[in-house]
């Protein structure tokens, strides 16, 4: 009585031609936003001769590197239907602590950097721990952490930037690997690392499960609390690294750094096609979102447009991109 299974694309190309096909799928999934990014680049190249230069492109990439790191982490949070509002504040704490340990305590560079990153990781862990243990909404727990960590950064620095003139430290943010600025290298490593984590590991699949259907995940024996803690700890780590690097670039630990960074990271994640409903999203998409925001800022700068307009433009781009996405989904139905 069982009907024969009909399968249109069993053994389809994807599994024979791995790399090529994943590139194809990547383009197909992100077609809309990629066209947007590309047309923006073309228009800017025409309008401003300074845009399509190696120098400017590296500049854009370096500028977006911090947002990229934060947005990669934010992608995990949003996939599990969460959010992390504390990324900017945690970044500030990590940076100021690293700078402080060098300038005030004379700790060796490696130790100061490690402690800075660990502080960020630990604060992320606390976010995850609170959420997992108490069942507090992500929004509330991280909103509280946003205040606490920002306050801690002010307290630690007395509200004043901590200057460091250690050239080795500064080099972490301003150095180059060949022609490529170091922050770009770090972000590339994180891009690859977080992609692998999300696509190629059990942890990644479980992240999608928790976001896709929490109850079903529980019934599937997935330890939701563990996933939550790991996700927020990962975000904390990424904030820690970004904070230290940013601080090194500025040669000082500034308690005010990173205000509003959480919103840019969220914007990038959304532009990249991650759904607020959970269970859907890719690091590769987030990367495009980051680039869209970066190119937009850079282009408007090059065209000498008042920076206030940049905010308006960013908002409009988000509305447009999400609207296109909604239209696409409606059409599918």
Minimum gap (Å) between residue 96 Cβ and other proteins: 34
Interacting residue with other proteins among 183, 279, 294, 299 (CB under 8 A) = 279
Interacting residue with other proteins among 202, 260, 308, 330 (CB under 8 A) = 202
Examine residue 161 and tell whether it contacts other proteins (CB under 8 A): no
Q: Which is nearer to other proteins, 10 or 54 (CB)?
A: 10
Kindly identify the residues of this chain, within the stretch 308-327, that bind other proteins according to CB under 8 A.
none
Write phi, then psi, for 177 (nearest 5 degrees).
Answer: -115, 105
Q: Which is nearer to other proteins, 42 or 218 (CB)?
A: 218
Examine residue 330 and tell whether it contacts other proteins (CB under 8 A): no
CA distance 223 to 131: 14
Q: Which is nearer to other proteins, 202 or 306 (CB)?
A: 202
Minimum gap (Å) between residue 206 Cβ and other proteins: 8
The residue range among 40-48, 72-80, 159-167, 209-217 that interacts with other proteins, by the rule CB under 8 A, is 209-217
Listed in sequence order, the residues at least 6 apart from 151 whose beta carbon sits closer than 8 Å to its beta carbon are none
Q: Residues 111-137, buried b or exposed e (16+ Cβ, 10 A)? A: ebbbbbbbbbbbbbbbbbbbbbeeeee
Q: Which is nearer to other proteins, 188 or 301 (CB)?
A: 188
The backbone region for 251, taken as left when phi is positive above 0, alpha when psi lies in -120 to 50, beta otherwise, is left
Minimum gap (Å) between residue 207 Cβ and other proteins: 12
Distance of CA 136 to the CA centre of its chain: 23
Examine residue 29 and tell whether it contacts other proteins (CB under 8 A): no
Interacting residue with other proteins among 34, 136, 180, 280 (CB under 8 A) = 280
Interacting residue with other proteins among 156, 186, 208, 232 (CB under 8 A) = 208
Minimum gap (Å) between residue 183 Cβ and other proteins: 25
Examine residue 28 and tell whether it contacts other proteins (CB under 8 A): no
CA distance 169 to 154: 22
CA distance 303 to 10: 51
Q: Which two tokens stand for residue 33?
A: 């936003």
Q: At what angle do helices 54-79 and 283-302 cross, to 10 degrees?
A: 140
Q: Which is nearer to other proteins, 134 or 220 (CB)?
A: 220
List helix spans (H) across 86-201: 87-103, 109-134, 138-157, 167-174, 182-200
Kindly identify the residues of this chain, within the stretch 4-23, that bind other proteins according to CB under 8 A.
4-12, 14-15, 18
Q: Are 69 and 95 in contact (CB under 8 A)?
A: no
Interacting residue with other proteins among 66, 77, 160, 223 (CB under 8 A) = 223
Q: What would the x/- binding string for other proteins be over residues 182 to 201, using CB under 8 A?
A: --------------xx-xxx
Examine residue 209 and tell whether it contacts other proteins (CB under 8 A): yes
How far is the CA of 146 from the CAs of 3, 87, 140, 300, in angstroms? 57, 7, 10, 30
CA distance 21 to 144: 44
Examine residue 135 and tell whether it contacts other proteins (CB under 8 A): no
Which residues lie near other proteins (CB under 8 A)? 1-12, 14-15, 18, 196-197, 199-202, 205, 208-209, 212-213, 215-216, 218-223, 279-280
């Amino acid at each position: 009585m069982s009907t024969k299974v009909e399968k249109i694309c069993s053994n389809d190309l994807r599994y024979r031609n791995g790399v090529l096909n994943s590139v194809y799928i990547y383009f197909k999934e992100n077609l809309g936003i990629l066209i947007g990014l590309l047309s923006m680049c073309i228009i800017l190249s025409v309008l401003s001769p300074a845009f399509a230069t190696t120098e400017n492109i590296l500049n854009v990439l370096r500028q977006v590197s911090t947002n990229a790191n934060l947005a990669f982490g934010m992608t995990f949070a949003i996939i599990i239907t969460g959010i992390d509002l504390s990324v900017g504040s945690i970044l500030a704490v990590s940076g100021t602590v690293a700078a402080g340990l060098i300038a005030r305590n004379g700790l060796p560079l490696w130790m100061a950097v490690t402690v800075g990153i660990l502080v960020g990781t630990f604060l992320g862990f606390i976010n995850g721990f609170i959420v997992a243990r108490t069942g507090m909404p992500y929004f509330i727990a991280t909103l509280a952490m946003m205040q606490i960590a920002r306050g801690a950064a002010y307290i630690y620095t007395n509200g004043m930037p901590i200057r460091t003139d250690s050239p080795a430290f500064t080099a972490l943010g301003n150095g180059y690997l060949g022609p490529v600025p170091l922050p770009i290298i770090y972000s590339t490593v994180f891009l690859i690392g977080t992609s692998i984590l999300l696509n190629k590991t059990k942890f990644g699949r479980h992240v999608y499960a928790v976001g896709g259907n929490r109850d079903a995940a529980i019934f599937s024996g997935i330890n939701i609390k563990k996933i939550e803690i790991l996700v927020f700890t990962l975000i904390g780590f990424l904030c820690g690294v970004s904070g230290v690097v940013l601080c090194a670039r500025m040669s000082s630990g500034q308690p005010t750094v990173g205000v509003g960074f959480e919103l840019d990271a969220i914007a990038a994640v959304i532009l990249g096609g991650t759904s607020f409903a959970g269970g859907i999203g890719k690091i590769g998409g987030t990367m495009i979102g980051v680039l869209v925001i970066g190119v937009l800022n850079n282009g408007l700068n090059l065209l000498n447009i008042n920076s206030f307009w940049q905010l308006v433009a960013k908002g409009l781009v988000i509305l447009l991109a999400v609207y296109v996405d909604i239209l696409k989904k409606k059409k599918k139905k």
